[in-house]
Amino acid sequence: AECPSMGEGWDRSDIGLCAGCGQDFRSVVPQAPSLPADVKLLGCLHCLCGLCLEQRLATELPPCPVCGDPVEDELQPADFPSCFLAQVVDAQKALASELPCDECVDADAAVSHCRTCVSNLCEYCSAHHKRSRAFQQHELLDLSRLEGPIHRAVFCRVHVDQRASSWCGVCRVFCCRLCEDRDHADHGTKAVQAAAVDAAGKVAAALRRVSRLQEGLAHCHRSVLRRKSALESHKANAD
């Protein structure tokens, strides 16, 4: 599939637009209207839609059309994380009643989000969810009263219609149960939820390190300012 060009009349640094084609991330993927826009975050923190990233990785073009930042060899579109912007996009679509139901064939507008299933549900599917004994402990959010981000389910990169159940740290991919048994059986995979907890812990540790570095830099900056002030005083006295 090819990502349609939107022309050149847009700001490529606008994080709400694909830096490659200018697609508004609040829109749907043109080739699959029932699916949400795919927002991919590059290492340089610029964003591309999945189609643009796939096309640029298949050529000798640098992945980022804004800064030309290169990437490691053999990386695939699925190796790039979906940007947090995807959550903002879904929240905006939900408030505008444009978020489709993940369960029914008609993909009617979703009215609730199940945190447990990570699914958006229309009115009919929400009612069924509430009535079912299997889902009694599930937490449903009313999308008309949404106050924060909602999460997207993660899908297998091979069987794209199957939700990922595990994370393979060796291959660095999310996979469904079939792929886990067939391709990653001896890789020590982790359940998606456990992998998310581990990742959150690593991010928290990285933020703590950054905070300590920030404090050290602030201390050095204050020291430089004091020395600058002292030198200026000496210069003024010398004059």
Residues 224-239: tens digit of each pLDDT: 999 999 999 888 888 7
Averaged pLDDT for residues 18-47:
64
Distances (CA, A) of 7 to 4, 49, 178: 9, 15, 42
Whether residue 206 is predicted with pLDDT greater than 80 in this model: the reply is yes
Structure token pair of residue 168? 């393979």
Q: How far apart are CA 235 and CA 239, in angstroms?
A: 6
Residue 89: enclosing H or E segment and its boundaries? helix 85-95
* Predicted local distance difference test score (pLDDT) of residue 2: 42
Parallel, antiparallel, or unpaired: how do β-strands 39-41 and 47-49 relate? antiparallel
Whether residue 5 is predicted with pLDDT greater than 50 in this model: the reply is no
Structure token pair of residue 195? 């992998």
Q: What is the DSSP string of 42-77?
A: -TTS-EEEHHHHHHHHTSSS-S-TTT-----TT--G
Whether residue 17 is predicted with pLDDT greater than 50 in this model: the reply is yes
* Predicted local distance difference test score (pLDDT) of residue 227: 93
Q: Which amino acid appears at position 221 of this protein? A: H
Burial class for 29, CB neighbours closer than 10 Å (0-12, 13-18, 19+): middle
More confident site: 7 or 235: 235
Residues 75-117: tens digit of each pLDDT: 555 556 665 666 777 777 787 788 888 888 887 889 999 988 8
What pLDDT band is residue 161 in, cutting at 50, 70 and 90? confident
Averaged pLDDT for residues 205-234:
92
Q: Within 10 A of 20 (CB to CB), how many other CB atoms are there? A: 25
Averaged pLDDT for residues 188-213:
88
| DSSP code for 61 | S
In this structure, is the dihedral angle defined by the CA atoms of residues 18, 22, 26 and 29, taken in order, positive or negative?
A: negative
Distances (CA, A) of 64 to 42, 69, 70, 116, 120: 7, 6, 7, 35, 32
Parallel, antiparallel, or unpaired: how do β-strands 166-168 and 119-121 relate? unpaired
What pLDDT band is residue 203 in, cutting at 50, 70 and 90? confident
| DSSP code for 19 | T
